[in-house]
């Protein structure tokens, strides 16, 4: 049986067109992009083109794009960098309960260091941030509100525009981890009103290990660097630029700019087919987590009642999916995202995430349905079997 990859939210495969765009930089690109000789200038021009491509994809000016190693670094830079430079009277950060670890952990770190107080705003059972709760938490001491655009586990979209309006009403900034949304659905940071946006190349069929923090002029002016060195990227992210990776991110962004709408339609049709196939074969024992009317076109978070998701996932091989469970101190912990939405531990342990993308085919969906149905039936039969 052929391998089937349905873990695009973990990392999407590299588009061969992106690889082709990167190849000259990898094979014959010479020099440091910050050198002023002709070699350096040539590399800087390639970086500038990528800056334009990324800016165009998310509706902002190229000079606001700071390249870095990925969304983990971008999120750390946004939160630690703002906190470092903040005036003492603005020392509170609000994050949503379903943020990625790369937003949660630096916030917790700031909290334990005593640099900032952190409040966590809850989400509705549908999985999106509770705006009433956010509004109640806001005050003149809030520095930044961090709300992700789309959740990696459920695909549920947050009301980022409204969150930004609420944040701005008290003079706070809005940081948006748009890693899962950029390139999959239209995301224009100017229209949304986000001050800082994190994105990552490998979620949009670009290379891994490169991403960007994108900011408005005013937000970048209020940011401190967290990596100190040669003052690259407007002094906010030192380190010689990964030119091939950046060119790859730019190329991936340009492809998304032209193909996003068609791809979203095709991928959501396949995702819906997958869900329908599972529901039909497994009757009433399947349900979807999160508000399905507002989510990414490629994601389905599915609970198979009575079947442990880790066991289902392993029995589905060679179809690759994922669960939101995390291994912490040797114990398997249920997904914090699903618990925050009010799901029981059992429901969380029975949830599998399917995430599709650009190269997913109809035939792969049929294989995935067949493998998932067989795996779920097998796991259930093992659970039910007398010992
Ligand atoms: N934020 C979100 C929402 C993510 O899904 C991920 C990747 N799983 C990250 C941040 C981290 O991205 P990177 O791998 O580029 O560090």
pLDDT in tens, 241-276: 999 999 999 999 999 999 999 999 999 999 999 999
Predicted pLDDT at 327: 66
Q: What is the pTM of this model?
A: 0.97
327 in catalytic set: yes
Please classify residue 135 by burial: count the beta carbons closer than 10 Å to its beta carbon, then call 0-12 exposed, 13-18 middle and 19+ buried.
middle
Beta strands in the chain (DSSP E): 4-5, 65-68, 92-96, 117-121, 142-146, 173-177, 196-200, 211-215, 286-288, 299-304, 319-320, 326-328, 331-333, 351-355
Residue 70 Cβ inside 6 Å of ligand 1? The answer reads yes
Q: Which of 70, 101, 103, 176 to mutate to test the pocket of ligand 1 (most atoms within 8 A of CB)?
A: 70
Matching residue, tokens 């093992």: 382
Band (324; pLDDT cuts 50, 70, 90): confident
Q: Output the average pLDDT for the chain.
A: 96
Q: Over range 120-130, report the average pLDDT.
A: 98
Predicted pLDDT at 138: 98
Residue 177 Cβ inside 6 Å of ligand 1? The answer reads yes
251/53 Cα distance (integer angstroms): 7
Residue 148 CA: nearest ligand 1 atom is 3
Band (385; pLDDT cuts 50, 70, 90): low
| C-beta atoms surrounding 124 within 10 Å | 16
Percent of residues, the chain, with pLDDT higher than 90: 94
Q: Over range 134-151, report the average pLDDT.
A: 98
Contact 275, 370 (CB under 8 A): no
Q: Minimal CA–CA distance to 250: which of 35, 46, 37?
A: 46
Residue 200 Cβ inside 6 Å of ligand 1? The answer reads yes
Tell me, in angstroms, the distance from the centre of ligand 1 to residue 347's CA: 24
Q: Over range 323-348, report the average pLDDT.
A: 87
Residue 152 Cβ inside 6 Å of ligand 1? The answer reads yes
Band (16; pLDDT cuts 50, 70, 90): very high
Residue 146 Cβ inside 6 Å of ligand 1? The answer reads no
Band (76; pLDDT cuts 50, 70, 90): very high
Coil, strand or helix at 30: coil
Give the pairing type, strands 299-304 and 351-355: antiparallel
Statement: residue 326 has pLDDT above 90: no
Statement: residue 24 has pLDDT above 80: yes
144/204 Cα distance (integer angstroms): 27
Tell me, in angstroms, the distance from the centre of ligand 1 to residue 336's CA: 16
Residue 72 Cβ inside 6 Å of ligand 1? The answer reads yes
Contact 257, 39 (CB under 8 A): no
For residue 306, the Cα-to-chain-centroid distance in whole angstroms is: 29
322/98 Cα distance (integer angstroms): 17
Predicted pLDDT at 329: 62
Residue 74 CA: nearest ligand 1 atom is 16
- Region of 152 please: left (phi>0), alpha (psi -120 to 50) or beta: alpha
369/385 Cα distance (integer angstroms): 24
Matching residue, tokens 């903040």: 86
Atom 12, ligand 1: residue with shortest CA distance: 71
Statement: residue 331 has pLDDT above 80: no
Q: Minimal CA–CA distance to 83: which of 75, 74, 93?
A: 93
292/190 Cα distance (integer angstroms): 26
Task: Classify residue 227 by its DSSP letter.
Answer: S
Tell me, in angstroms, the distance from the centre of ligand 1 to residue 71's CA: 5
Contact 239, 229 (CB under 8 A): yes
């Amino acid at each position: 049986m052929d391998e089937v990859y349905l873990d695009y939210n973990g990392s999407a495969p590299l588009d061969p067109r992106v690889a082709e765009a990167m190849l000259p930089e990898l094979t014959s690109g010479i020099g440091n992009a910050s050198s002023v000789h002709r070699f350096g200038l040539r590399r800087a021009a390639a970086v500038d083109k990528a800056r334009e491509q990324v800016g165009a994809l998310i509706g902002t000016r190229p000079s606001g794009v700071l390249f870095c190693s990925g969304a983990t670094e971008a999120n750390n830079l946004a939160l630690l960098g703002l906190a470092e430079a903040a005036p003492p009277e603005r020392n509170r950060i609000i994050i949503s309960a379903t943020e990625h670890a790369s937003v949660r952990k630096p916030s917790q770190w700031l909290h334990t260091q005593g640099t900032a107080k952190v409040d966590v705003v809850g989400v509705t059972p549908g999985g999106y941030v509770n705006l009433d709760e956010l509004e109640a938490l806001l005050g003149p001491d809030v520095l930044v509100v961090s709300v992700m655009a789309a959740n990696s586990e459920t695909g549920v979209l947050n009301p980022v525009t409204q969150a930004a309006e609420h944040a701005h009403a008290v003079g706070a900034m809005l940081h948006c981890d748009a890693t899962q949304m950029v390139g999959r659905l239209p995301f224009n940071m100017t229209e949304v009103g986000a001050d800082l946006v994190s994105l990552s190349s490998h979620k949009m069929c670009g290379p891994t290990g490169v991403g960007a923090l994108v900011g408005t002029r005013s937000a970048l002016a209020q940011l401190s660097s967290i990596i100190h060195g040669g003052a690259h990227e407007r002094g906010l992210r030192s380190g010689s630029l990964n030119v091939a990776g950046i060119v790859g991110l730019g190329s991936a962004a340009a492809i998304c700019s032209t193909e996003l709408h068609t791809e979203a339609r095709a991928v959501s049709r396949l995702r819906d087919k997958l869900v329908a196939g599972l529901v039909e074969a497994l009757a009433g024992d399947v349900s979807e987590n999160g508000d399905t009317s507002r989510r990414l076109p490629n994601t389905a978070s599915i609970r198979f009642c009575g079947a442990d998701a880790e066991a289902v996932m392993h029995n589905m091989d060679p179809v690759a999916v994922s669960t939101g469970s995390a291994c912490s101190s040797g114990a398997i912990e249920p997904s914090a995202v699903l618990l925050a939405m009010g799901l029981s531990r059992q429901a969380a342990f029975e949830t599998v995430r399917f995430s599709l993308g650009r190269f997913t085919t109809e035939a792969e969906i049929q294989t995935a349905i067949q493998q998932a149905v067989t795996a779920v039936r097998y796991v259930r039969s093992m659970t039910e079997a007398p010992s």
